[in-house]
Structure 1
Amino acid sequence: MAKSKFEQSLEDGAHYRITKIVGNWKGTTKTWFEKDVLVDEVLTEAEITSILDGRFISYDYQSSLEGKPLIGKMIIGFDIPYQKFTFSWIDSFHMGTQIMQASGAATEKGFSILGSYGNPEYGDQLFGWRTELEIINGDEIVFTAYNIMPGDEETKAIETILTRN
């Protein structure tokens, strides 16, 4: 009997790649609010778990920003019909009470996905937020996020380098 597309993806495709990073992680997060001005560098702990038999992973992390506790969660998956990575992201600082949805392409070592966020206080135009995952090897991953102001170039906002516990 032929394998389903999902079974094949779990065996050697996108789902295989993301489930390989399931585990406990520790590292550092750097944050910038404006180009080339580092605001904070802190310790980060994360747990990545498999959800729904490998269809998704949950990236749960805790850290701080300027001395205040910060927690967050991403549900990450690969959309087989549309051949793209997707995530939903919430956290206690950047997103407030919003949920960001993002999607984008696979890269050689992970993915690069684009979402948007806004607030009526900032006007009608949405800001962009591009997130990259780079799987360096089985014991090191890097999440990098870039803020994109309306009509402006993207600038690095967050870089989290994690090693497996």
Structure 2
Amino acid sequence: MAKKEFEASKAEGAHRRLAAMAGDWEGTFKLWFEPGDPVCESKQTGSIRSVLGGRFLLHEYETEMNGEPISGIALYGHHLDGGTWEAAWGESFGTGTQLMYCTGPAAGGFNVLGSYGDGQGGPDWGWRTEIEQPDADTLVIVMTNISPDGEEAKAVETRYTRKR
């Protein structure tokens, strides 16, 4: 990555889009284990900050499920040379001790795909994370579970509002 390309991305490109997501956030967390009504809806707070000179965002968050606390971290970035969005995600509930690595094409918005094992030696499942920022004070993160057969179902939705 050339410094000139990175500076251009911070001024007008993907890294500028990432920087717009930095801040302190609060909102709702919804969790689904199967299609239909969510099994959980809780308050979620999050902090998203720019790290390493604007190369990445570090997202730290806290929520709960049935009174049990959940905390997590995610690192979001845009790989200029590879032309991809990238993420690494881990939390106290969903990923156990695994870091999930996800990538996706640079075209369009932040949309990355990773995978995880079923814990029983079966085929991997897919996990898509999409982040949209419809305005400066709203952030929506949707995570979709993808079965080994390709069936997709919403698993997590976080709707944030920027704290003032």
Same fold (TM over 0.5): yes
Q: Which residue of 2 aligns with 1:163?
A: 161
In 2, the alpha carbon distance for the partners of 1:100 and 1:9 equals: 26
Percent identity among equivalent residues? 41
Q: Distance in 1 between matches of 2:150 and 2:136?
A: 36
Residue-by-residue CA offset, 1:104-137 (whole Å, 9 max, x unaligned): 13464x311100011441x331010000000111
Deviation (angstroms), 1:20: 1.1
Which portions of structure 1, spanning 4 or more consecutive aligned residues, are displaced by more than 2 angstroms? 105-108
Give the corresponding residue for 2:116: 117
Structure with bigger strand share is 1
CA apart distance, 1:3: 6.3
C-alpha deviations, 1:63-108, integer Å up to 9, x for none? 0012210000000000001111000000000000000000013464
1:81 corresponds to: 81
Instruction: After TM superposition, give the deviation of residue 52 of structure 1 in Å.
Output: 0.4
TM-score, reference length from structure 2: 0.94
Task: Give the aligned CA root-mean-square deviation in angstroms.
Answer: 1.4
Partner of 1:5: 5
Distance (Å, rounded) in 1 between the aligned partners of 2:3 and 2:29: 40
Alignment: residue pair count: 162
Q: Secondary structure at the match of 2:97?
A: coil
1:1-165 to structure 2, matched below 5 A, reads 4-106=4-106, 108=108, 110-121=109-120, 123-165=121-163
Q: Which amino acid aligns with 1:92?
A: S
Deviation at 1:21, TM superposition (A): 1.2
- Which ranges of structure 2 fall in alignment gaps of 5 or more residues? none
Q: Which runs of 5+ in 1 are unaligned?
A: none
* Equivalent position SS for 2:24: strand
